[in-house]
Amino acid sequence: MRPVPHMLISLGVGAGLAYVFKSYPAAVSCFIGGVFIDIDHHIDYVIARGKIPNYKELNDFCDGMDGGWKPYLIFHSLEAIFMAWLLTIYFQLNVVWGGFLIGITVHMICDQLANPIRPLGYFSWYRFKVNYDKQKIFTQRYFDELEQKKK
């Protein structure tokens, strides 16, 4: 999913949080969590290419047009998000932390629904187990769309 839909969805969910919890900090943290989780795409680019990307380079990279790269996606980790929720509940962290995690969780739900990724693809342990092999992480739709873009 592209950045603009994530921004709009995070803005909407954040507005809902502001209304329900009467907390603008929770709304802002929801937006931040829902958008900036994608910083791991930048990290993957730097690991693969050794430089900070411009917007076009990052788009081509994320679209798979930029050749071989491994989808480490360190923040797109369902088990880490689950642990963060457990810690937030256990330590009774405030609504700002809850807003941040709601933003990240909504982001991940949208990614799981919109992106051509296999059901286990957003588990870090699975990506590690398959050595970050895109054939085992992404569905055939990913490769079909990549071929269409190359034409």
CA torsion, ordered 24, 28, 29, 34, to nearest 10 deg: 140
Residue burial 20-33, b: 16+ Cβ < 10 Å; e: rest: eeebeebbbbbbbb
Q: What is the full per-residue pLDDT of the chain (151 aa) written as tens digits?
A: 889 999 999 999 999 999 999 999 999 999 999 999 999 999 999 999 999 999 989 988 888 766 678 999 999 999 999 999 999 999 999 999 999 999 999 999 999 999 999 999 999 999 999 999 999 999 999 999 888 887 7
Place of tokens 């009774």: 92
The reported pTM is 0.93
d(CA 80, CA 86): 10
